[in-house]
């Protein structure tokens, strides 16, 4: 048995049958990390000693018969380096926090520890989660296991590359505007973004507080369901968490019947610029789902075209506030008769002073956000963006009166080459074109594998993802449709050669 190829359910079954121990399982993954991470560059910190200690404790519980139905007990995982882990380096992939060791765990880490997780280490991301490729990490760029000349996506690129390369069984990342779903599509994984407020943000280093969602990267849908059930729920330390009941997602997935389920296909997501391989793969996936009994309905989401510009006004505005704590410089300024001159002077001073601790993308977002929030521009930019955000959410609300679920492409293109977009921020931002509206509306969504591009110029075929979007707090039906589709296809079983 190849221990480094297991899913949560298979690994948990093997542990209970005493086919192997958690220590053996953990050492197999640690060995594989040592063997492959010089190529893939997923990990910032490998916590070998802590992982083996946690695995030993899991084995003791299993041997005492204390495992019960705890499927995460003794299962090795990775954690995005933007999530606080007590006593373990947590850098947010930034130079500013390169020596930061938290004194406390994020709520979701506390919950995973209670379940008996084994943390192999902390994985790379774009610094402070600002990016779509990990190229904005202050340390290094992670590589896509399917083609090491390409990015794994971002900002949770290290989470994606670590799971796709079988360096761990699952990973916890974050999704603010697509940061789990896009890398999942790029790396042939399941990437689940819960409803905003479904999982506590306490201990997550904030990017955009109104859209940040701790999220899940897994090898299949059932694994994602198992993890969500354990980390979801109200948290007294996070007032934005919901008291809505957490469903038994794994149990719900036993029902394979999707007959009569109404699937909305928004025409705004099938642009002329959409990669032809992606368009064909999504169309084939829709046909497959329709053949299983679902009803397909075309719908309109008229304000979708404003999602990216709206997101990139709101996001930098919140970023400029959230990053103010890190380098001791005030980004705001008092109003004068010539705000534009004052803003220009602030930017020049900032770029030449303490701001050098931030990378270029963080600086860009701080400056954009400060400008959008400044006197004389707040109404024109930030307030207007919030109004458009309300219209985007209203589009979804109206559409969900007619349909149960929506299906779209996850990304407009397959994974791009390292360096291909790094000189053009607008091109990088447009990678979120199918993702940011869902985040602005606070809805749950999952990306699932649905095909591969045709190989060109002797290069590898690259994965394609399909996005399934649901009503707020209806993760169970999002996961159900994803699981039914997954059971009737084999895309998720394909593995990269490293």
Note the pLDDT tens digit of each residue in 477-497.
Answer: 999 999 999 999 999 999 999
Task: Give CA–CA dist 393/400, Å, rounded.
Answer: 11
Dihedral angle computed from the Cα positions of residues 117, 157, 216 and 433, in that order, rounded to the nearest 10 degrees: 170
Residue 230 has pLDDT above 80, yes or no: yes
Residue 341 has pLDDT above 80, yes or no: no
Q: Pick the last residue of a domain from 349, 383, 417.
A: 383
- Let me know whether 159 and 269 are in one domain: yes
Of 26-30, 130-134, 329-333, 360-364, where does mean pLDDT reach its minimum? 329-333
174 part of a folded domain: yes
Return the higher-pLDDT residue of 121 and 347.
121
Residue 375 has pLDDT above 70, yes or no: yes
- Let me know whether 258 and 313 are in one domain: no
Task: Give CA–CA dist 162/487, Å, rounded.
Answer: 24
What residues have CB less than 8 Å from 201, skipping those under 6 apart?
209, 212, 213, 214, 238, 240, 241
User: Are 6 and 26 spatial neighbours (Cβ–Cβ below 8 Å)?
Assistant: no
182 part of a folded domain: yes
**Residues labelled catalytic:** 80, 155, 179
393 part of a folded domain: no
Cα 272 versus chain centre, distance: 26
Of 343-352, 378-387, 457-466, where does mean pLDDT reach its minimum? 343-352
Report the CATH number that the domain containing residue 258 is assigned in CATH: 3.90.1300.10
Q: Pick the last residue of a domain from 320, 350, 383.
A: 383
210 part of a folded domain: yes
Task: Give CA–CA dist 419/415, Å, rounded.
Answer: 12
pLDDT tens by residue, 19-60:
999 999 999 999 999 999 999 999 999 999 999 999 999 999
70 part of a folded domain: yes
Residue 235 has pLDDT above 70, yes or no: yes
Q: What is the tally of structural domains in the chain?
A: 2
**How large is the average pLDDT for residues 94-113?**
96
Provide the pLDDT for residue 460: 79
175 phi/psi in degrees, rounded to 5: -130, 115
390 part of a folded domain: no
- Let me know whether 44 and 161 are in one domain: yes
User: Are 6 and 169 spatial neighbours (Cβ–Cβ below 8 Å)?
Assistant: yes
Cα 23 versus chain centre, distance: 28
What are the residues facing 238 on neighbouring strands? Answer: 235
Of 140-144, 194-198, 323-327, where does mean pLDDT reach its minimum? 323-327
Q: 328: pLDDT confidence band, cut at 50, 70 and 90?
A: low
- Let me know whether 379 and 413 are in one domain: no
Residue 374 has pLDDT above 60, yes or no: yes
- Let me know whether 376 and 440 are in one domain: no
**How large is the average pLDDT for residues 457-481?**
93
C-alpha distances out from residue 117 to 72, 73, 101, 136, 247, Å:
6, 6, 20, 29, 21
Nearest-Å Rg of the Cα atoms of the chain is 22
- Let me know whether 282 and 348 are in one domain: no
Q: Would you call 260 exposed, middle or buried from its count of C-beta atoms within 10 A (0-12, 13-18, 19+)? A: exposed
- Let me know whether 332 and 447 are in one domain: no
C-alpha distances out from residue 203 to 1, 136, 255, Å:
37, 22, 35
- Let me know whether 244 and 326 are in one domain: no
- Let me know whether 206 and 257 are in one domain: yes
Task: Give CA–CA dist 164/287, Å, rounded.
Answer: 27
Provide the pLDDT for residue 217: 98
Provide the pLDDT for residue 458: 56
Task: Give CA–CA dist 43/126, Å, rounded.
Answer: 13
Give the mean pLDDT of the chain. 92
Provide the pLDDT for residue 429: 79
Range of the domain at 77: 1-300+404-498
pLDDT tens by residue, 356-370:
578 889 988 988 898
- Let me know whether 469 and 411 are in one domain: yes
Residue 348 has pLDDT above 70, yes or no: no
**How large is the average pLDDT for residues 424-431?**
81
444 part of a folded domain: yes
**How large is the average pLDDT for residues 440-446?**
98
- Let me know whether 125 and 31 are in one domain: yes
Residue 457 has pLDDT above 80, yes or no: no
- Let me know whether 277 and 312 are in one domain: no
Residue 335 has pLDDT above 80, yes or no: no
pLDDT tens by residue, 392-408:
999 999 999 999 999 99
388 part of a folded domain: no
Residue 339 has pLDDT above 60, yes or no: no
Q: Kindly report the pTM of this predicted structure.
A: 0.93
pLDDT tens by residue, 156-214:
999 999 999 999 999 999 999 999 999 999 999 999 999 999 999 999 999 999 999 99
Provide the pLDDT for residue 355: 44
């Amino acid at each position: 048995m190849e221990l480094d190829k297991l899913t949560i359910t298979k690994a948990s079954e093997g542990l209970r049958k005493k086919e192997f121990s958690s220590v053996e399982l953990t050492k197999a993954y640690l060995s594989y990390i040592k063997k492959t991470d010089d190529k893939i560059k997923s990990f910032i910190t490998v916590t070998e000693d802590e992982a083996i200690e946690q695995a030993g404790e899991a084995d003791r519980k299993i041997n005492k018969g204390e495992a019960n139905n705890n499927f995460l007990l003794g299962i090795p995982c990775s954690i995005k380096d933007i999530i606080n882990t007590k006593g373990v380096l947590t850098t947010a992939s930034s130079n500013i926090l390169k020596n930061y060791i938290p004194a406390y765990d994020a709520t979701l880490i506390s919950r995973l520890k209670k379940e008996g997780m084994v943390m192999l280490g902390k994985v790379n991301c774009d610094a402070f989660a600002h990016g779509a490729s990990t190229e904005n990490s202050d340390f290094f760029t992670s590589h896509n296991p399917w083609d090491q000349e390409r990015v794994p996506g971002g900002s949770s690129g290290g989470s994606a590359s670590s799971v796709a390369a079988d360096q761990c069984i699952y990973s916890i990342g974050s999704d603010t505007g697509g940061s789990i779903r896009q890398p999942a599509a790029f790396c042939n994984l399941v990437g689940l973004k819960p409803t905003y407020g479904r999982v506590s943000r306490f201990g997550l280093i904030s990017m955009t507080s109104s859209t940040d969602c701790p999220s899940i990267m897994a090898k299949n849908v059932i694994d994602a369901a198992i993890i969500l059930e354990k980390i979801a729920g109200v948290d007294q330390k996070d007032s934005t968490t919901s008291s809505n009941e957490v469903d038994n997602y794994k149990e719900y997935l036993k029902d394979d019947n999707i007959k009569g389920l109404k699937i909305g296909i928004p025409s705004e997501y099938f642009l002329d610029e959409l990669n032809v391989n992606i368009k064909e793969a999504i169309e084939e996936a829709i046909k497959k789902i329709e053949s299983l009994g679902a009803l397909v309905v075309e719908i309109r989401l008229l304000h979708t075209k404003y999602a990216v510009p709206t997101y990139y006004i709101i996001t930098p505005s919140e970023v400029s506030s959230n990053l103010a704590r890190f380098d001791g410089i005030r980004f705001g300024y008092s109003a004068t008769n010539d705000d534009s001159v004052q803003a220009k002077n602030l930017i020049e001073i900032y770029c030449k002073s303490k701001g050098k601790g931030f990378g270029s993308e963080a600086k860009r977002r701080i400056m954009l956000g400060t400008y959008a929030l400044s006197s004389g521009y707040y109404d024109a930019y930030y307030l207007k963006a919030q109004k458009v955000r309300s219209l985007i959410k209203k589009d979804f609300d109206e559409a969900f009166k007619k349909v149960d679920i929506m299906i779209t492409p996850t990304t407009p293109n397959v994974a791009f080459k390292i360096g291909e977009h790094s000189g053009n921020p607008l091109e990088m931002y447009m990678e979120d074109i199918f993702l940011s509206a869902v985040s602005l509306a606070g809805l749950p969504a999952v990306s699932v594998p649905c095909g591969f591009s045709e190989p060109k110029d002797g290069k590898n075929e690259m994965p394609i993802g399909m996005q399934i979007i649901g009503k707020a707090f209806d993760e169970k039906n999002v996961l159900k449709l994803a699981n039914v589709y997954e059971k009737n296809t084999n895309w998720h079983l394909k593995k990269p050669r490293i």
